[in-house]
Amino acid sequence: MTDRTFDDALGSAESPTEFLRKNRGRHPYPVPEEHTNWIEEVRSWRESCSLSDLSHHQKDLYVEGPEALDVFADLGVNDFTNFEPGQAKQFVACNPNGYLIGDGILFFLDENQLKLTGTPVTPNWVEYNLETADYDATSTADERYHDKDEPHRTFRYQLQGPNALDVMKAAVEGPLPEIPFFNFDEVTIAGVEVRALKHSMASNAGFEIWGPWEEGEAVRNALVEAGEPHGLRQLGEKSYKAQGQEKGWIARPLPAVYGDEMADYREWLDADTYEAISTLGGSFYSEDISDYYLNPIELGYERFIDFDHDFVGKEAVETMVEEPQREKVTLVWDDEDVLDLFRSLLSEGETYKYFDLSMPYWAVFHYDEVLDGDETVGLAKYFGYTYNERSVLSLALVDQEYSEPGTEVTLVWGEKGGDSPNPKVESHAQTEITATVAPNPYVDAER
């Protein structure tokens, strides 16, 4: 913690863009780089079963009280009709101008008890509103494991793949209850009462399991043992990062909190908060920070929006729905252009921005420019190599006229001028990658 506010820190730079690009790299992800080898780990969620450890990099915000649900209804675009204990939903929050602050998974734990899980951005926004508005509810924040000295309150594991259901049946003591999609129930694993959320993250039924932190090792060992006959692989950092390109979820958009309308919120945030210390990077560059903002329509969240209730940003989002929006697509990088990136490392002269398999990661908020000739026609966000498709993919938002599968565009690779104040970035030559538009999600089973 620090005595300075986020707004104090932001005021020390010429612009929010300059401020964010000077930040230092990525956030730690404290799991092994590989448990076995990352290629076989990547194959597991397609061919057998994968086990991910999500216990460290997300924040949990517990909200309790008679008006616990009210704060989420006031901030979220979602429909909360018939939302009940035992259910979960993807919670989406916008700023007053309708641009995305962030999203997370909202769990209805019990009557008047909810939990929001995700990167700290969205839980921070909810926590701020609870503290500054008059709600009959209180919150308890369980910060990310590396943001505090004490252990996390709960562990969180994720099973996915064609054999995930079989692994759960083998691990759970007694019969596995019938759990509807995005509902959760109590089960017992290794003598420990845990909760299991039913979801689908990579083509097949999956489960997210959480319980008391001190029992995490026993539960993980039981899952690994139960999964051995079913080809289970634990995911390390390299394989875990490769999932996003296949499932089509655009991770880590820049939160829309840097304008004047959010000044009070930035005064509430500390200078060492996630929004203040995360890095902006990639080839797209603008001095206007709002050019990095995304909205819920273009991100595919329109199906969640309920205009029958008031929420922050409602009028702006209503206008957005009536206007043309960029389309969410997958960009498939040209194989020869990818090989050129590696070929430059073996030749005399300048090299292109290094591409680390499975995913080079030097900026939390990554934005690449997408061109048609000299015209900017979109932004590319989450990217990386997936062994399952033998391709490098970017998840992108492009103007509608460029969204037809098969359309060719150009992705600019590398930082502006080939340099960056971020020490994670080596000097390099910026280059262009030919990319072909494909559906999002890219994998047929996901679609």
> 230-288, pLDDT tens digit by residue?
999 999 999 998 888 888 889 899 999 999 999 999 999 999 999 999 999 999 999 99
pLDDT tens column, 9-40: 998 899 999 999 998 766 767 789 999 999 99
For range 200-225, the mean pLDDT: 89
- Look-up: residue for tokens 């209805």? 108
Cβ–Cβ under 8 Å, residues 93 and 101: yes
CA distance 199 to 222: 21
Extents of the domains making up the chain: 38-57+152-235
- The sheet with strand 49-53 has its strands ordered as 184-189, 192-200, 205-212, 154-160, 49-53, 232-234
CATH number of this structure's domain 38-57+152-235 = 3.30.1360.120
End-to-end CA distance of the chain: 43
At 25 the pLDDT is: 61
Residues in the chain: 447
Task: State whether residue 223 is helix, strand or coil.
Answer: helix
Burial environment of residue 430 by CB neighbours within 10 A (0 to 12, 13 to 18, 19 or more): middle
pLDDT digits (tens, 9 = 90+) for 49-60: 999 999 988 899
pLDDT digits (tens, 9 = 90+) for 95-121: 999 999 999 999 999 999 999 999 999
Omega before 441 cis (within 30°)? yes
Task: Quickly state the pLDDT bin for 227 (edges 50, 70, 90).
Answer: very high
Token digits for 431?
Answer: 């280059």
Say which amino acid occupies 121. Answer: V
Q: How far apart are CA 416 and CA 428, in angstroms?
A: 10
pLDDT for position 405: 97
* Residue 132, amino acid: T
User: What is the average pLDDT across 407-434?
Assistant: 95
State the Cα–Cα distance between residues 134 and 185, nearest whole angstrom. 32
- At 145, list the tokens: 């494991």
Contacts of residue 325, defined as CB under 8 A and 6 or more positions apart, other chains included, come to 295, 297, 298, 400
pLDDT bucket at 348, cuts 50 / 70 / 90: very high
Residues 6+ apart with CB under 8 A from 308: 79
Specify whether the CB–CB gap between 88 and 114 falls below 8 A: no
The CA distance from 185 to 176, in Å, is 10
